[in-house]
Chains A and B, each alone.
Chain A
Amino acid sequence: MTVALTLTVLLVLAVAGFVLGRRRAVASAQGNIRVLHSLPNYYGWHGAIMAAVPALLALAVWLILQPMVVERQVLGYFPADSVESDAARTLIMADVRRVANGLDVAVARGALTDVQAREVSTTTGSIREVLGTVGVALGAEVTPQVLEAAQRSRELNLSGAWMRTVLTLTLALAGLAYAIKVTDKDFRARNRVERVMLALLMLASTIAILTTVGIVMSMLTESLRFFSMYPWQDFFLSLTWSPSFQGNSQLGLAPLLWGTLYISLVSMLVAVPIGLFTAIYLAEYASPRLRAIIKPMIEIIAGIPTVVFGLFALVTVGPFLRDAFAQPLGLGTSGSSVMTAGIVIGILNIPFISSLADDIINAVPQSMRDGSYGLGATKSETIRQVVLPAALPGVVGAILLAASRAIGETMIVVMGAGAAARLDLNPFEAMTTITVKIVSQLTGDTEFNSPETLVAFALGMTLFVITLGLNIVALIIVRKYREQYE
Chain B
Amino acid sequence: MNDMRIVERDVDTQKAKITARGVQVHYGTTHALKDVNVDILDNTVTAFIGPSGCGKSTFLRCLNRMNDTVASARVSGEILIDGENIYDKRVDPVQLRAKVGMVFQKPNPFPKSIYDNVAYGPKIHGMTRNKADLDEIVESALRKAALWNEAKDRLNAPGTGLSGGQQQRLCIARAIATSPEVLLMDEPCSALDPIATAQVEELIDELRASFSVVIVTHSMQQAARVSQRTAFFHLGNLVEYGETGTIFTNPTDPRTESYISGRIG
Neighbour of A484 across the interface among B69, B102, B112, B174, CB < 8 A: B112
Chain B 103-131 interface residues, beta-carbon cutoff 8 Å to A: 104, 106, 108-113, 120-121, 124-125
B66 within 8 A of partner (CB):
yes
Binary CB contact string for chain B from 45 to 79 against chain A (1 if under 8 A, 0 otherwise): 00000000000000000001010010100000000
Are A371 and B158 in contact (CB-based, < 8 A)? no
Which residue in B121, B125, B160, B171 is a CB contact (below 8 Å) of A486? B160
Contacts of B247 in A (CB 8 A): none
Closest to A379 in B: B94
What string of 1s and 0s marks CB contacts (under 8 Å) between A81-121 and chain B? 00000000000000000000000000000000000000000
CB distance from A71 to the nearest CB of B (A): 59
> How near does chain A come to B94, taking the closest CB pair, in angstroms?
5
**B69 A366 Cβ-Cβ under 8 A:** yes
Set of chain B residues within 8 Å of A386, measured between Cβ atoms: 110-111
Which chain A residue has the least Cβ–Cβ distance from B64? A374
Q: Interface size of B by Cβ–Cβ distance < 8 Å? A: 32
Contact (A371, B94) CB under 8 Å given A377-B124, A381-B124, A485-B158: no
- Chain B residues closer than 8 Å to A385, beta-carbon distance: 110, 120, 124
Residues in A neighbouring B178, C-beta threshold 8 A:
375-376
User: Which residues of B are interface residues toward A (Cβ below 8 A)?
Assistant: 64, 66, 69, 71, 93-99, 101-102, 104, 106, 108-113, 120-121, 124-125, 158, 160-161, 171, 174-175, 178
A56 to B69 Cα, complex, angstroms:
57
Q: Do A375 and B111 touch (CB < 8 A)?
A: no
| Closest A residue by C-beta to B125 | A376
CB distance from A447 to the nearest CB of B (A): 57
B171–A371 touching, CB < 8 Å: yes
Shortest beta-carbon distance from A391 to chain B in Å: 10
Docked Cα-Cα span, A381 to B120, in Å, equals: 10
Contact count A vs B, C-beta below 8 Å: 81
The chain B residue sitting closest to A367, CB to CB, is B108
Bound: A368/B120 CA distance, A: 13
Chain A residues closer than 8 Å to B111, beta-carbon distance? 368, 386, 389-390, 485-486
Q: Does A372 contact B (CB under 8 A)?
A: yes
Q: How far is the CA of A373 from the CA of B120 in the complex (A)?
A: 11
B125 & A373 in contact (Cβ 8 Å cutoff): no
Enumerate chain B residues within 8 angstroms of A295, measured Cβ to Cβ: none
Indicate which residue in B102, B110, B121, B174 contacts A368 across the interface (CB closer than 8 Å): B110
B94, closest chain A residue (CB):
A378
CA distance A377 to B102 in the complex (A): 12
A160 to chain B, nearest CB (A): 61
User: Using Cβ atoms and an 8 Å threshold, which residues of chain B touch A192?
Assistant: none
In the complex, chain A residues whose CB is within 8 Å of the CB of B71: 288
A370 within 8 A of B: yes
Judge whether A141 is part of the interface by a CB distance below 8 angstroms. no
Chain B residues lying within 8 Å of A485, measured Cβ to Cβ, are: 111-112, 158
